[in-house]
Amino acid sequence: MEVIYKIPQESSEYPEDSAFVIQRIAAIMQRSIESNQNLIFIRTNLKRGLPLENINKVAGPFVEAWALEQFENVADSTNNEFELINAQAGKRLDTFDIVLQFKRQRDSLQYLSANVDAKATAEDIKTSGRSPNITSFARIRTEYIKDPDYIFIILSLKHKVYGERDVSTGMTNGIMEVVSFAVYDLKYVSSADINYNRALGTGQLQIRDIHYVDIVEKRTTWEFIQLLDAKYIQSKGEDAWLALARKFAWVKED
């Protein structure tokens, strides 16, 4: 039985759209840091404050919620300079944490959706940000088949945490400070920086070090899918890949 691949054809405008989205996300994060909107205050009734040696286990949701709020604040401002018109959190089983919608004026007004996976990394923990799970292999591959212009952005947010004693209560409150960020399109991450972890379902894509990645020359959607397939097949074999391809309708069969 002959297997025929479904080959996605992205638009010629995709590289420009990706760069447009990345530039605006980066500008929003940079403004938040430069304008001192990058602090998250956590009040406790603990004399010693937050357990800093384990803070990376709980910091992620706080930092990701902070990022969503920064985008929401911009989107709530009509005709903002970043051209962001909507920001909302993803649902539990979505491939992304945040979806952002931008408007872009070309010959006509167009709208772009960017699916953002926000990851928090601790500045003072050397191993923080090493090989985090990004998304399911089958899920992200299916998204690129359904929409060849699917924009999947990784937003890495580096933070540090410290305590400040409240002299009136004697308690120590925690402060999380977002100190830097990195933002990039998953499709353009170098092959060496993308790992495939066979654990959990159909396996997870991982970034070797999420805050420090190499970006390759622009890939097409089909070239990126072929890269992902090769990593999956190397780990689980061609028969396992074909079973997935049939299950998720990645191929046509005569």
In tens, the pLDDT along 83-111 reads 999 999 888 767 788 999 999 887 778 89
HSE, side-chain direction, 13 A CA sphere, residue 65: 9
- What whole-number distance in Å separates Cα of residue 204 and Cα of residue 57? 20
Tens of pLDDT, residue by residue over 188-232, are 999 999 999 998 888 999 999 887 888 877 899 999 999 999 999
The DSSP code sequence of 48-78 is T-S-GGGTHHHHHHHHHHHHHHHHHHHHTST
- What whole-number distance in Å separates Cα of residue 28 and Cα of residue 31? 5
- Give the model's confidence band at 128: pLDDT under 50 very low, under 70 low, under 90 confident, else very high: low
Domain ranges within the chain, ordered by starting residue: 11-253
How many other CB atoms are found less than 10 A from the CB of residue 89? 16
- What whole-number distance in Å separates Cα of residue 98 and Cα of residue 244? 27
- What whole-number distance in Å separates Cα of residue 116 and Cα of residue 96? 5
User: Which of the 8 DSSP states describes residue 215?
Assistant: B
Q: Which two tokens stand for residue 226?
A: 């072929």
- What whole-number distance in Å separates Cα of residue 56 and Cα of residue 122? 6
217 or 180, which is more confident? 180
Q: In what side-by-side order are the strands of the sheet with 152-165?
A: 39-42, 172-185, 152-165, 109-122, 98-105, 84-89
Q: In what side-by-side order are the strands of the sheet with 204-207?
A: 133-136, 204-207, 194-197
pLDDT score, position 146: 96
Angle, to 10 degrees, between the axis of helix 14-34 and the axis of helix 56-75?
110
Considering only CA atoms, which of 208, 207, 202 is closest in space to residue 233? 202
Query: Contact at 8 Å (CB) between 237 and 156?
Result: no
Considering only CA atoms, which of 40, 38, 35, 69 is closest in space to residue 55? 40
215 or 125, which is more confident? 215
pLDDT score, position 127: 58
Averaged pLDDT of the chain:
88
Tens of pLDDT, residue by residue over 7-63, are 999 999 999 999 999 999 999 999 999 999 999 888 777 777 666 666 667 778 889
- What whole-number distance in Å separates Cα of residue 194 and Cα of residue 98? 21
Encoded amino acid at 127, one letter: T
pLDDT over 80 at 155, yes or no: yes
pLDDT score, position 19: 95
The CATH number of the structural domain formed by 11-253 is 3.40.600
pLDDT score, position 54: 66
Which whole number is the average pLDDT over 127-131? Answer: 64
Q: Scanning the structure block, which residue is given the tokens 């990394």?
A: 121
Query: Contact at 8 Å (CB) between 200 and 38?
Result: no
69 or 199, which is more confident? 69
- What whole-number distance in Å separates Cα of residue 213 and Cα of residue 190? 7
